[in-house]
Chain A
Amino acid sequence: MPQLEQVEFFISQLFWLGVFFVILFSVLTYITLPKIRAFLNKRDDFVRSHISKQDELIKKAESIIENYEAKLTEAKNQASQIINDAKDEALHESERLLKATEEKIQQEIKLTETRVQKEKEDALSELNTQLKDSATDFISKVTNIEKGNINL
Chain B
Amino acid sequence: MAKGESPLKQFEIQPIIDINLFGLDISFTNSALWMTVTTAFILIFFTAPFLKSKKTNSVSDLYPSRMQVAAELGFSFINSLLNDTVGKEGKKYFSLVFTLFMFILFGNLFGMIPYSFTFTSHIIVTLALAMGVFIFVTILGFVKHGVKFFSFFVIPGLPIYMLPLLIPIEIISYLSRPISLSVRLFANMLAGHTLLKVFAGFVSALGIFGILPLVFIIALTGLEILIAFLQAYVFAILTCLYINDALHLH
A29 to B100, CA, bound (A): 12
A residues 3-60 with Cβ under 8 Å of B? 3-4, 6, 8-18, 20-21, 23-25, 27-29, 31-33, 35-36, 39-40, 42-43, 46
Interface SS of chain B: helix
Please tell me which one of the listed residues B26, B39, B42 contacts residue A12 in the complex, with CB atoms under 8 A apart.
Answer: B26
Are the C-beta atoms of B96 and A11 separated by less than 8 Å? no
Name which of B122-130, B139-147, B155-163, B237-245 contacts chain A.
B122-130
* Known interface pairs A1-B8, A20-B36; A12-B29 also in contact (CB < 8 Å): yes
* Known interface pairs A2-B13, A6-B12, A33-B94; A13-B29 also in contact (CB < 8 Å): yes
A27 to B99, CA, bound (A): 10
> B59 at the A/B interface (Cβ < 8 Å)?
yes
A14 cross-chain contacts in B, Cβ below 8 A: 124-125, 128
B43 cross-chain contacts in A, Cβ below 8 A: 24, 27-28, 32
Task: Across the interface, name the chain B residue whose C-beta is closest to A5.
Answer: B12
* Known interface pairs A21-B103, A42-B61, A42-B62; A27-B47 also in contact (CB < 8 Å): yes
A17 cross-chain contacts in B, Cβ below 8 A: 35, 119, 125, 128-129
Shortest CB-to-CB span from B24 to chain A, Å, is 5
A42 to B26, CA, bound (A): 44
Shortest CB-to-CB span from A117 to chain B, Å, is 103
Are the C-beta atoms of B123 and A28 separated by less than 8 Å? no
A14 to B119, CA, bound (A): 11
Are the C-beta atoms of B72 and A13 separated by less than 8 Å? no
* Known interface pairs A3-B124, A28-B99; A13-B13 also in contact (CB < 8 Å): yes
> B28 at the A/B interface (Cβ < 8 Å)?
yes
Are the C-beta atoms of A36 and B99 separated by less than 8 Å? no
Task: Across the interface, name the chain A residue whose C-beta is closest to B28.
Answer: A16
A4 cross-chain contacts in B, Cβ below 8 A: 123
Please tell me which one of the listed residues A18, A40, A46 contacts residue B75 in the complex, with CB atoms under 8 A apart.
Answer: A40
Please tell me which one of the listed residues B13, B94, B102, B190 contacts residue A9 in the complex, with CB atoms under 8 A apart.
Answer: B13
> B202 at the A/B interface (Cβ < 8 Å)?
no
A66 to B32, CA, bound (A): 72
Residues of chain A whose beta carbon lies under 8 Å from any beta carbon of chain B: 1-4, 6, 8-18, 20-21, 23-25, 27-29, 31-33, 35-36, 39-40, 42-43, 46
Q: List 27 A-B contacts (CB under 8 A).
A: A3-B123, A9-B15, A9-B29, A10-B124, A11-B25, A11-B26, A12-B26, A13-B13, A13-B29, A13-B119, A13-B122, A15-B24, A16-B26, A16-B29, A17-B125, A17-B129, A18-B128, A20-B32, A23-B39, A24-B39, A24-B102, A28-B46, A32-B47, A33-B75, A36-B50, A36-B75, A40-B75
